Structure formats: C-alpha cells, structure tokens
Structure 1
Amino acid sequence: MENVASQENLSELLSRQLDEIGFSPKRIQERTSLIKKLSEAKDISTKKLLNRDDIEKIFVGSQREGTGLNHCNDLDVLQINHGVFCLINGHPLNTENGKVIFQAVQKNIPYGYVLLKLQSEGKSETFQQHKYALVEKNEEKYLSSRIFMTRNKDICQTRAGWLAENTNYQPQEGPSIPKNTVQNPIESFILSCLNLKTKKTDVVCALPCGANPILEEWSKRKRKSGWPCRKTITHVLGLPAYVVPVGLRGSKDEDLQWRVCFTKAEIYLIEDFNIVQTKVFIILKLIAKYVLQPISDDISSYVVKNVMLWMSEKIPQRKFCQDNLVARLGDAIKYLKKAVKENHLPNYMIPERNLFEGKLKGNEKALLMDKLNSLLENGEIELKKYMDKPDQLSEELEQVLSTYRIAKEIETDQMKILASFTKKQLVEKYIQMFSYESHGSTCHNILFTDSAVPFSKFYSREWFSESVNVQSSNYRKLLEQSLVRGFRNCKFDTANSPKTAIYSLTCTNGHLRSVVTSVQRPFYDAPDGFSSILSLYSAATCRPRPAATEIASRPPYLTPFSGHFSSKTNYF
C-alpha cells in the first residue's frame, strides 16, 4: 500500500511539473486550436501565392498535436500535391479528373513501402512537373523517390522577396527538407543564451494515396482496451493517406520506393488521448530526446509515438488516470525496452512494418538496454529525491526544466498576439512575408515585453505602429544575466553592468532606425557600457560599429519599455 501511495504522490508531482512547463490541459488545447488556425491560414495563403488549388500545405508533428513547444521542437510541414493520386491493390482508375495517376505496387516490396507505376499522365502541366523523376523498369515507368527529392518544391524556393532570399536549406533528412529563416543576430544571441533552439522547419512533400485496404485491416483489429472507440475508428477510416519520397535503407529498389503514411490519422488519434495518456507521451518524448537519443538517433519521436499508440490500445483507457501516471510511464518504458531487445517495433497503422529494421547498429542496443534498465530501476528513486528536496535537482534536469519554462513564457506572448488575428488577417500577413522585397520596406524587430522576454519577430513597417501590451513572468533577471554573460564572452567590461536589458532594436535597409533600451546609469557611464550597445547594433546590421565620438551628442533614447513600440527619431 505504501508503494501505491508513493506512486500516486509521484504521479501528482510529475503532472504538476508538466503543467508548469506548458503541458496543462488548458494550454495543450489552446496550442492545438491556435496551430489549427495557423495551418489553415498557411494553406490558404500558399494557394493564393501559387495561384493553384491543388497544393495543400499544413502543419503536422508535435506542435500540431499540442505536445511540442516553439524553440524546443521543430515545426513540421506537409506539402501535398492533389494533382496526383496513387492507388493501392488495383482499385478502379478514374482518369476523368485530369490527375496524374500511379498504381502503388506492393509485390516484393518491404511492408509499408510501395513503388509508383505510372497509369495515367493526366493534365499536361502536372505531368511535366513530375516527368523528370520517371525512370523505366521492366518496360514500365516508375516515379523515383530519390530523383524526386533532387528538386526542392518548397514555396520559399520558388518565390522572390525577403523571406525567400533569407531562407536557408540544410541537407535532406529522409523525405524531409529542413530549413530555417535567417534571424537577426541579436535574436539568435539571446536564444542561445537562454538555451533555446533557433526555429527549424521540416518540409515533407507528399502525394495522396488511396490506402483503404490497409485502413480496413487496421479497423478490424481486436482491441482489448476498447481504445480507440468505434466512433474514432470510423472517423479515421475517412481520413486520407499519403506516400512520401523515401525508401527502406539498404533494401532492393530503395531509390524507387515511397513510404505509406497516415499523418492525419495519427494526429487525430493523439488528440483522442485523455490528458494522462498525453502526459505519458510527453514525458516519454522528453526521455527519448534528452536521455536516449544521445545514445542512438533511432529512438525518434515517431518511435515514441508508436510506442504510445500501442500502449493505449493494449491498456484500458480508465487505467490512464492521474494516480497511475508513473505506473503507465513504467509500462511504456518496459514496452520500448522489449522492442529494443528484440530489435522489433511494429508500426501502429501497418504492424508488418518494423520501425527498427536495419537500425540499432553496433553497441547502441546494449547501451540503450543499460539506460532503459536504469530508468526502470532508479527512476522512481530519483523522483522521490526530487520530491523530498526539490532544490537539489541535477544540473542537467534543472536546465531542461528551465528551458521549457522560458519557452512556455515566450509561447504565452506569441499566442496572445497570434490569437488576436482572424484567419483572414493571418492569411494577409503570410502573403506579406513573401511579398516584401529584400531592399526597401523590410524591417527586423527584436521586441521584448516588460519582463524582457522576446515574443515575436515582425515584418513590414506598418506593424511597428501597432500597440502591444503583453505581460509575462519574472524572467527579467534571467535575460539580464544572459546578456551580461554574453557581453563578458565578447570581452566587454561588465563589472558595472549588472542590470542590462535591451528592449528593441529596429533596422531598415541596413541602417539603425531606433534603439529603445532600459539601462541603469552605472552601465551607461561604464567605459564599455555604451560600446556594448554599439557592438550589438553592428552585429545586427552587419555594418561597422559607429565610434562613440560620432554620436556623443545624440545618445540613445533611455526609457523603460512600456509595451508600446517607440521609434521617436533616427540616431544614426
């Protein structure tokens, strides 16, 4: 009985910690509602920019599911071409709609993958866009996933304007093309001081796929737990499937293979979790990210998602209750341990597909087993230590919690700003981001709230006149310490600058438009105090740092930031 009571107390502690770092039921609901609106606005704006109705662009992944935070998790985007359709198992072909149609061939292909054999060329324009990736095999034409990935179809690659020109692409990762937008150096500097990630977006191109035979088999599976319920299953049966351009590593015809995925179905199933299922999922993802992935990249967030979906199908949902959070987390770790030991984790939607096939190489399996055993044997002990002495957390865990608390505060401000826009206004802003030229009307704004936490980065002059009144928590000291540490790293004398907060720096056409700061007099009078501000200006504009003598008679406007952006005069 004592052990049960202890687990209940630990469950309450864990649940409360998750609430504090941004995963309370209310925050998760707010996050998913907002990202849905942003996703719809993104899709509409993409169609308008491309002047095409057959391209759908939506947000997916952890942020879409409500289990990820901006600056802690990447943003995942799925770009779907509805001018193409792929059919599995010889379903009747409808060529009247003008779509390019491929037959999905499964024979002698690894489970969960298909070859796309051309059946109908459809409209000339759509066919020409895919013709470059066609190869001949046994007198038939197939769409090569490898060749398909040699062309970047992301909208930023095909448009002009500041956002497109300042988007950097990294080497592809599987079917994904990672990218990030060049940030103002000050923003990057502050994010690095706060141990936050520079925002990265993973774009995956997909083709619609008629995978009813696979979904029907999934729906008829026996489920002792009663989850998902019949209503949820019926809804999932109506959701689309896709194929994405990646083959099973090391297999025959890898370059021709496309992977079948059920992205929207998985999002819907995650949303059907109760709050304890969701929290177990979040904790397992954190364990994977900070404990297991340093050992092996193969323990991905998608692996964790499949573990959680299987656990939810095997354990009755009523057992996922507040008091059993720790117990269910233990069950999930045991399930993952068994999968690692056997080198076999079935895909939830297509059980014949082994997610660990060809993975966990060398001594990775042994190291993972040791770590998972340690979590099972010592996890509760460590939690009890924390419950007894919460001020004696390990440095690593304290850093993780601190990172997520800060990300939550930034997200709070971002959500308040974004929630104030209608979907129509968001569409207009997305289009504006692509429309502004790289020389002319583009401005970069690093804006901070009263507590000195950055909440957004805006584009275009008109936004700077808008009033902003957003309150956050007590992270002023944290940012001040980060800035002081950053100045010290830059060899600035910070002995007399314990209280520094740079609130806003705005650039137009490479010229400083305004500096709004709040600094204590000792810092301003210090020999290198004002020099630090000038150096930050130089870093932000990539221009030579002005000499202090050049502006001695025109010091920056010193005032605490009140929540309304001010650009009273040009100083340089």
Structure 2
Amino acid sequence: MAIQKTSESVYMGMCLEMGTPQQVASRRDIRDIAEMLMYSEMLNRRFTVMLSGSDREGFRLSGSDLDYMRWPNNHRVIWDFSQVQFYNTQEHALILCDSSDSPPGFTLLWLPLEGASTTVMSACVRMNGMLYISSSKYREVTCSIFFSDSTPHGPCSSGSHGGVECDHALCFISDFWPPSASSWIDRCQSWPPPHVVNDIIRNGCHFVAIGHKLGNHTDNEWRISFSQAEYKLVYSMNHTQFLTYGLLKLFLKEIINKRLRDGDKLLCSYHMKTAVFWAIQQNALPYWHPKNILVAFWVCFKLLLKWVYEGNCPNFFIPENNMFLNNIYGEAQRTLFTQLYTLYEKGISLLLHSPSINSYIINVLCNPRLTICTVEHTLISEVELDTDIFNEISINDSIGSVDLRICRNYLHAVEESIGLPLTQYHNVMLRKLTATVLQRTAFMLHNLYTNTGSNKQLYIVDKMACHMLKIAARFGCVSDMLYIAMYYYKTFRYRDALSVIDITKVKLAQPYLMYGSHVDRERYTEAVGGQSLSTKMRQAVAQDIKLPNEIFHINELMPEQQSSTQNSWPLLYIPPLVLLYMLEFLCSRHVDTLRAQSALDDLQALVHHDQGELIHVHLRDISWEILGICQQITGNLQAALYSYQQSLGQDPFNEIQTATRQRIQDLHL
C-alpha cells in the first residue's frame, strides 16, 4: 500500500513537472497543425522543417535544447531501383542507399542519376568510380545555414538565440520504410496499435549526416533516423508511460549525469526512450497505471542496467544496431555499471536524490495516511492550462517567408483542413494562423500596388486589405487590432488609426487580460471562464506583435528590420503596449501634439519602470529602441542617446544592434 501511495504521489508530481494529459495534448496538437499547414503540399516549399526531440514529444523541460530536422523536398532516397517508378526524375533527384559495407543502422548515399542540387554535389566524393554524398562534407557545406557562428554537435549545427540552444540537422528523407527495419513491423503485435504502425511505415524515415565511428566509411556514412516514427510512438503512449519516460529523463539529468561534463556523459535521453519502448512492447508490465509508475520506472531501470552489463543497447527499430558500440565498452562500461548498480542497491529511494521528485516521495513517507487524488485535471486550474495553451500558440504562430501565391495557397490549405477531425487545440491554432496569413497578405498587397497600381486598383486593394485585417482581428487575439492601426498609419489615415488605438487601449487595459504568464486569475475566470478557447483568445489574450522583416509595416522601424535581416533573424517581436504607444505618438504628431507628448510620456514610463509584466525581458532591446526613436523625432537627442545605449545593453533578441549603433552615430552629439 505504501509503494502504491508513493507511486500515486510521484505520478501527480510528474504531472506538475512534465504536464497533465490536457497540457501534453495541447502542445502536440498545436505544433502538429502548425507544421501541417506550414509544409502543406499546396505551398510547394523547397524545404520541410520538423521539430523533433523532447519538445515535439510534449515535454517542456527547462534548459532543454530545441531539435529541428530540415530536408530538401526535391530529393528522395530510395532503397532499390524498382522504386524509381514512383518519381518524376525531372522533379526529384534520386539518391540510392548502399548499405552493403556499413554497420546496421547506417548506409552510404549514392547518386546514380543527375539532377542533385549544387549544395549536394559540392558534398560528393568519388568511390569506386561512383559519386557518394559525404556526410562530413555535407555538414561542412551546410553548417552556417541557420547560425553564422554555429558549432558542430553530432549530425547537427548548434547555436543559440534568446537564451535557447537549438540543434538543426540537415538531412534527407525516404518515403519508404527501411528493409533493415522490417523485423520491427513483425514485432508490433501488442504495441503500438495497427493504425500507428501503418502511419509510421507510410511516412518512411530520414538520414542524418553522421557515420558510425567504427564503420569502414565513418566520414561518408549516414545514420538512418527514426525521429518521426519515435514521436508518433510517444504520442501513442498512455500518460503513465509518458511520465515514466519523463521520470527516466529526470533520473538521467539529476542523478546519473549530475556534475558530469558533456564529454563524460555516456548515457543520453535516447537510451531512456529506447528502454521505455522495449519495456512497453515486451509487456514487461501488464498495466501502466498511476499506481505503479514507480514499478514501471524500476522495470526500465533494470533493463538499462542489463544493457550496460552486456554492453549492448539494441536500437528499437534495428536491434542489430548496438547503440553502446561507440562509447560504452571496456573501462567506461565497467565504471558505468558500478555507478548504476550502486544506485540499484538503494532501491526506489535512489529517487530521493532527484530535487524535482524527492518532495513527492517524502510527503508520503512523512504522512502515510495521506490521501492521493489521481484526477489530473484537478491539478492545474483552467487559467494555468490556458496560459500554457496561448503561450504555445504564440510560439508556433509563424508562417515563414511567403509571397502572395503562398498566402493564397495557405488559405486554401486552411480551407481543406476544416473537413478534418480537429480538436479544440487544432481549431484555435488554425484561427490564429489564419489571422497571421491575412495580416501578411494585406500588407504585401498594399506594398505591391502602391507604386504600380492605378487609382482604381489601389482603391480595390485598399478595401481588400482593410477587410482582411478586420477579419484577422476577429480571428486572432486582442493585440491583433494593432495591425489595423499600423495599416491606417501607413496609409496616412491618422485619425482612423487613433480610433482603433483608443479601442485597443481599452481592451489591453482590461483587468482580466492575459499576456504571457501575466494574468489576474480571478478576473480572467470571471470574464471568460468556461468559454471556448477561440472566444478567450479574441476577448482576453494579448500577444507580442511579430513584424516579418521582408515587409515594412512602419517606416520608422526600417533600419531595425534591415539589421535583423542582416543577422539572419526573420521577425521583429514587439510588446503590444510598446507598439500601441509608438503608433499613438506617431499618429498624434499629425493631428494632436498634446496627445503625442502624452503618448511619449506613457511609453517612457512603461519602458523605464516595467518589471517584466508588460514587456518580456528579452524584448527590452526593441522597447528601448522604440522609445529612443520617438525621443529623437521630438528632438530630445540626449534622452534618445540614453535609450539607444540601454537598448545595446539588453539581450540582443531582435538582432537590431547594427541599427542601434547607426542611430547613435547619426545623433552627432
């Protein structure tokens, strides 16, 4: 009974640490629908980018890297020549696998036909008179695509932005399941369910640019990657299985690898995931339930211990691929086994060494009569869940670089998706993305026809743009009203812009407004509690304004957008109130100088005194910059200099430092 209560307490603790079923489901659905639209076949993009790793699986762990995979859509890997028939070789460059001389799970990639891109050709080597794509050369050629100062990390290019570490793996895709993984299909009798198996097989696999350290062609081989299959497997877990995986990740980070340098860490999160996969498929536990999460953890830990003892960690898809072969052998293997066996001898009390989980064990040990409720939705409030959901929506509210054709096709893709079986999380993300597409389209139309169109064309385009922005405001959140104000300012309708600003200012001042994690929970619940997510977003949520650097929305911010672009950053992120006061100041200068000064005073008070509630810490760079721009316009050059210097001293999230330094030079003080 004690172990059952402890398990239940740990389960609830893990829900708080890793997410309740609703939180995890919302994270997955929001990302899935965003990616589905971003890379719809209708858009005909050159590349597809897929979030993988822990974030894609539904975890939100502090300090965790973001893992992305990117592959060209006009290249396909095939396993034998019979598969050529499925492709138009004018549209796809075909790459043939040659696994004859590679360890299990690895392959050489041969180019038997012409048509590969210049980038791919520059990474080729000749072996036995044939062209092969070298994984090491491909990493070299593509390493600076995402970060100018990237560092190699396995098959990835690593870099950071806004304090978040990102790994980008450039890879290739095959639409076909690897023959070497055919035994996996036969093993799937009890788990995963048939529809998941079919979905995984139908989506094939990827190839990442890293060879086997002990192979014959280390610099040229590619590893077969099952990242897409893996996140689908994690999706198919029940919540106890998911949290067991999370518990193993904490065990690895806070106990096994504690105080170890990166180069000394032999076990990784992938080994933990593999242990959970095998434990589920081999029915090592008849029931995965909150009452036995500690038993589940122990089963996986023992499996891991066995693998270390034997020096063999079988890949879940290709068991012949021993994932310990590279680094867990000899003295390192013996040392690791001793460490793990010492922990094993402690029994389940070893988890007391995990700061994230020990309190949930101690609570039961100190109070054996404690009653544990395992109803997950009682753990967090509606407001906490909504905060999580709207933050996820804000993170995923991006449509990349687009033109009018892509915007049109994007809206067609949205229309097509309406007939799909969508969850509430899919629906609200769709609405926000639709608003973003409409906003982008409106400004592109205006920019396209301003200098080329006739008066009649300009009139029609203007009506269309205004209509789109008003629809976007109904689909999006409260702060999306500011796009209408920006458009009116751009088209010299200052009084119309101020009318929209007045309405928006009232909405942004509502005591129940949610902005990031800042919200008055009681008032939010009173105002919109129990209503649909779409209603909540439209009436009670504000988010940062994102200005794509390929479109100039406000002429006064052109240098900042150009600077951001030069530093390979696609968007300016601006806090909604900062933008509101800037627009109020800029518009009022033409119609009401007293109001302009009042708006500048409000902006100055906000930027100088906000404690992270209305201006996120990482957006202080652009907030000080905007204050400086407004002060410079009024002729207060000393105040502008101070603001620009403050901007330079902040986290360079928006990559506007080049513009800031130029503005300081232009002051001529």
Query: TM tier, shorter chain?
Result: 0.5 to 0.7
* Map of 2:47 onto structure 1: 55
Which of these residues, 60, 73, 81, is aligned with residue 64 of structure 2? 73
Does residue 9 of the first structure (1) align with residue 43 of the second (2)? no
Which of these residues, 317, 321, 324, is aligned with residue 292 of structure 2? 324
**1:205-225 deviations in Å (ceiling 9; x for gaps):** 1112233423433211375xx
Q: Which runs of 5+ in 1 are unaligned?
A: 157-166, 184-197, 394-404, 445-456, 468-498, 515-532, 544-571
Q: Which letter maps to 1:211?
A: W
SS state at 1:96 partner: coil
CA distance in 2, matches of 1:289, 1:110: 30
Contact 2:18/2:243, CA 8 A, preserved across alignment:
no
Q: Evaluate the alpha carbon distance shift between residue 85 and residue 180 of structure 1 in structure 2; reply closer, same or farther with a 3 A threshold.
A: same
Contact 2:210/2:219, CA 8 A, preserved across alignment:
yes
Which of these residues, 125, 128, 131, is aligned with residue 141 of structure 1? 131
Q: Which letter maps to 1:380?
A: I
Q: Which letter maps to 2:228?
A: K
**1:305-355 deviations in Å (ceiling 9; x for gaps):** 111111111126752112111001001001111111111101001111111
CA distance in 2, matches of 1:309, 1:320: 13
Q: Please give the root-mean-square deviation of Cα atoms over the aligned residues, in Å.
A: 4.0
CA drift at 1:229: 2.6
CA drift at 1:141: 1.2
Does residue 130 of the first structure (1) align with residue 120 of the second (2)? yes
CA drift at 1:273: 0.5
Q: Evaluate the alpha carbon distance shift between residue 425 and residue 110 of structure 1 in structure 2; reply closer, same or farther with a 3 A threshold.
A: farther
Which of these residues, 336, 349, 369, is aligned with residue 381 of structure 1? 349
Contact 2:625/2:644, CA 8 A, preserved across alignment:
no
Q: Which letter maps to 1:103?
A: L
Does residue 25 of the first structure (1) align with residue 49 of the second (2)? no
CA drift at 1:130: 1.3
Q: Evaluate the alpha carbon distance shift between residue 538 and residue 68 of structure 1 in structure 2; reply closer, same or farther with a 3 A threshold.
A: closer
Does residue 257 of the first structure (1) align with residue 221 of the second (2)? yes
Q: Evaluate the alpha carbon distance shift between residue 130 and residue 326 of structure 1 in structure 2; reply closer, same or farther with a 3 A threshold.
A: same
**Comparing both chains, which one has the higher relative contact order based on Cα–Cα distances under 8 Å and sequence gaps of 6 or more?**
1
Task: Give percent identity, aligned residues only.
Answer: 18
**1:216-240 deviations in Å (ceiling 9; x for gaps):** 33211375xx112333322222122
Which of these residues, 285, 288, 309, is aligned with residue 277 of structure 2? 309
Aligned positions of 1:5-404 closer than 5 A: 5-40=1-36, 42-43=38-39, 53-69=45-61, 71-94=62-85, 96-98=88-90, 99-122=92-115, 126-152=116-142, 156=146, 167=147, 169-181=149-161, 183=162, 198-209=163-174, 210-221=176-187, 223=189, 226-294=190-258, 295=260, 296-315=264-283, 318-360=286-328, 363-381=331-349, 386=359, 389-390=362-363
* Map of 1:435 onto structure 2: 550
CA distance in 2, matches of 1:260, 1:328: 29
CA distance in 2, matches of 1:241, 1:508: 41
CA distance in 2, matches of 1:351, 1:383: 30
Q: Evaluate the alpha carbon distance shift between residue 500 and residue 390 of structure 1 in structure 2; reply closer, same or farther with a 3 A threshold.
A: farther
CA drift at 1:80: 1.5
* Map of 1:513 onto structure 2: 627
CA drift at 1:463: 7.7
**1:3-61 deviations in Å (ceiling 9; x for gaps):** xx12211111111111222421111111111222343455469x97xxx6241112111
CA distance in 2, matches of 1:458, 1:379: 52
Contact 2:624/2:646, CA 8 A, preserved across alignment:
no
User: What's the TM-score once normalised by structure 1's chain length?
Assistant: 0.66
Q: Evaluate the alpha carbon distance shift between residue 507 and residue 239 of structure 1 in structure 2; reply closer, same or farther with a 3 A threshold.
A: closer
SS state at 2:152 partner: coil
CA distance in 2, matches of 1:443, 1:34: 31
CA drift at 1:373: 2.3
Aligned residues: 434
CA distance in 2, matches of 1:292, 1:536: 42
* Map of 2:508 onto structure 1: none
Q: Which letter maps to 2:184?
A: W
CA distance in 2, matches of 1:279, 1:37: 24
Higher helix residue share: 2
CA distance in 2, matches of 1:366, 1:434: 54
Q: Evaluate the alpha carbon distance shift between residue 16 and residue 506 of structure 1 in structure 2; reply closer, same or farther with a 3 A threshold.
A: same
Pick the structure with greater CA Rg: 2
Q: Which runs of 5+ in 2 are unaligned?
A: 353-357, 367-379, 396-427, 441-544, 564-570, 582-608, 629-642, 658-668
CA drift at 1:146: 0.9
**1:163-191 deviations in Å (ceiling 9; x for gaps):** xxxx554311111111222x4xxxxxxxx
Q: Evaluate the alpha carbon distance shift between residue 389 and residue 217 of structure 1 in structure 2; reply closer, same or farther with a 3 A threshold.
A: closer
Higher strand residue share: 1
Q: Which letter maps to 1:422?
A: K
